[in-house]
């Protein structure tokens, strides 16, 4: 596929598949895929509830799997696709892992670290810079999150009755 935007959409659809896995496990539906040389080398979805670990975000799990697959913590020349704007923790991991490019979907007004709450990436990093494209399949990503939280609120109301 020669069109870079269509390639981004294709890989973001794969990240959405991961988000759906999280949704089906009653996790906040966020998914990520890591791509190297136009091939997915790692996948991840939120597992915070399953693992009872606040750091078990889709991005973190995907970066760990990618480092293992490449046998190198330096993930140079990779692109991370994520359905949600990364938080500060994940933004730091992306910088530390030396990911070349980040593509994300929906804004995270609560803890988004690419401008929705704070912009970690606007600060000049001493060693690394990440190319960022936001808003890819934003509506699809946001719709899944909205559906998840609407269901959570509905269940909470039913339990109060």
Helix (H, G, I), strand (E, B) or coil at 24: helix
d(CA 28, CA 19): 8
Q: Among 59, 131, 140, 160, which one carries the catalytic annotation?
A: 59
d(CA 144, CA 25): 13
User: Is 85 an active-site residue?
Assistant: no
Block residue for tokens 């293992």? 68
DSSP 80-108: EEEEE---HHHHHHHHHHT-SEEEEEE--
- CB contact at 8 A, 153 and 122: no
- CB contact at 8 A, 101 and 132: yes
User: Catalytic residue numbers?
Assistant: 59
């Amino acid at each position: 596929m020669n069109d870079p935007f269509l390639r981004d959409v294709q890989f973001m659809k794969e990240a959405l598949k991961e988000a759906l896995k999280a949704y089906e496990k009653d996790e906040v539906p966020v998914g990520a895929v890591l791509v190297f040389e136009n091939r997915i080398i790692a996948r991840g979805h939120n597992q915070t509830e399953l693992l009872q670990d606040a750091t078990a975000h889709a991005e973190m799990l995907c970066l760990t799997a990618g480092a293992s697959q490449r046998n190198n913590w330096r993930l140079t020349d990779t692109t991370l696709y994520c359905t949600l704007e990364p938080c500060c923790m994940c933004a730091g991991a992306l910088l530390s892992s030396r990911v070349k490019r980040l593509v994300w979907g929906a804004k995270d007004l609560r803890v988004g670290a690419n401008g929705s709450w704070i912009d970690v990436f606007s600060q000049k990093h001493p060693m690394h810079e990440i190319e960022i494209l936001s808003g890819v399949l934003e509506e699809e990503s946001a719709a899944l999150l909205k559906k998840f939280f609407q269901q959570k609120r509905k269940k909470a109301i039913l339990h109060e009755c």
